[in-house]
Every structure is written in structure tokens, then in C-alpha cells.
Amino acid sequence: MRKLVFVFVALVFVGCAYRANDLNFEVYKPHYKQDEVSHIEKILYIKSIIDIRENPYAMGTFEEKGRYYLVESKTDLRYWYYKSLRNAFEQKNYEITSKFSKYILGLKVYVYKARADFVEDFDAKNNMKGNLRLKVVYERFGKKVVKDVAIDHVGFYEMIPGKADYEQFLGRMLRASVDEIVKKVPEF
């Protein structure tokens, strides 16, 4: 009987540990209103997306009964941002090019933080907190403009969130960051 209880408890903990792993984020395909025709040619070169987080697949933690578990993603955010930014800028009538010159808008994105942490406190107003921090470098005509993108999001869950909850929660922050990058394009 004792062994049976041990096996049951072990299965419960193993099941909980993998509840929110292997997150997968669909590439963002925004739908923006069309801009007026600009006097500057709308050509974009995405120079690089650099994920400088210590563990690029760690997307947060969840706490259950005093134990913390890592939430991981199988989505490479460098690829996700590249494809999502490409989609977003194409929606804004930008032509995407593979060659950079001083007349073309260059874009470099640094991912500093992208995570959501759940604390098992069902009396709290918000038991899930997410933070996303990016540094975006826009370049044109030999000038560089650096902008920070900070997205904070909170939520409440009555149960320990699962994979779909984390994907929805973090996905909302990721999509909002793409919209911010597009919105913050400076006038050169």
C-alpha cells in the first residue's frame, strides 16, 4: 500500500512538472489600417534579432505547493520576431529587403526578458505576472535611434495554468511588443 501511495504521488508531481512546458507561439499576422503614402520609401531590412536571455527557451515559472517549476518554450523567439515583424511591416506597406543601405530602414531587436510567473496564491488579485523587455535599434541615413519596449501584463487564474494559458498570456505580450515596434518607427 505504501508503494502504491508513493507511485501515485510521484505521478502527480511528474504530471504537474510538465503541465506548461513546450509552449509554442504562432507567428503574429497583424491587420493594420493602411497608412497614407509616405514621402520616404518604405523599405525595411531586419538586421538581426538577438536573444540575450540566459536561457532562451525559459519563459517563466509556476509555483505549486511551495515548489517551483520552469516553463519552457520550443519556439525560438529570434525566428518568431523575424517572421512576425516581417508580417507586421508588410501590413504597413513596407517592402522587405535582404540588403542594407543608408536609405533603407534597418531594424535590430534585442530580447532582454520574456517571461510569465505564476504564484499559487488564489487570494491575490493577480497571481500571474508577465514582463517583456526589448531594445530596438532603428537605423537610416547613418543615424541610429534606440527605443525601449516594455510590456507588463497581469492576470488571475483559479487553477494552476496549463500550456494553453501560458501560450495565451505570453502570446498577448509578444504580439503587443510587435505592435509597439511598428508604432515606434522614428521619422528620419
- Would you say 49 and 109 are in contact if contact means Cβ atoms under 8 Å apart? yes
The pTM of the full predicted model, rounded to 2 decimals, is 0.81
**CATH number, domain containing residue 156:** 3.40.50.10610
**77 lies in a domain?**
yes
**11 lies in a domain?**
no
- Would you say 144 and 137 are in contact if contact means Cβ atoms under 8 Å apart? yes
**131 lies in a domain?**
yes
| Position 75, amino acid | T
Task: Locate 104 and state its grid cell.
Answer: 533603407
Does residue 3 surpass a pLDDT of 50? no
Mean pLDDT of the chain: 86
* Residue-range definition of the domain harbouring residue 133: 41-183
pLDDT at position 146 is 98
Number of domains in the chain: 1
**7 lies in a domain?**
no
Q: Tens digits of per-residue pLDDT, 106-135?
A: 999 999 999 999 988 877 788 899 999 999
**171 lies in a domain?**
yes
**65 lies in a domain?**
yes
**83 lies in a domain?**
yes
Q: Provide the H-helix boundaries in the chain.
A: 2-17, 77-91, 163-183
Strands (E), the chain: 43-51, 58-64, 67-72, 95-96, 105-118, 128-140, 143-155
Q: Provide the H-helix boundaries in 66-162.
A: 77-91
